[in-house]
Structure 1
């Protein structure tokens, strides 16, 4: 299954990826959101409870 959104948890600091990575995923119909890992975990749980098709990549 292809997720509609990928959450990227970047550890304790909020970091951003190079814009080309956003564009590559967007071209495939997938949104990308970068945030701290704690925020990504919270967001993932909320979206899953809503039945959304979401994936998370987490850096601890």
Structure 2
């Protein structure tokens, strides 16, 4: 099980574009399950998503 920190530009809380725990990111055939989301950086302009790569097989 590989763990990742994925940083992206923040969206306001409550917006549909803001990632939530138990959602997934997709990168081609790779899937990453989001375990937690934390605001990061000055003025909370970024989010850090703590994720785990889901391996099929």
Question: Does TM, normalized by the shorter one, top 0.5?
Answer: no
More strand per residue: 2
| TM-score bracket for the superposition, by shorter chain length | under 0.3
Greater RCO structure (CA 8 Å; 6+ sep): 1
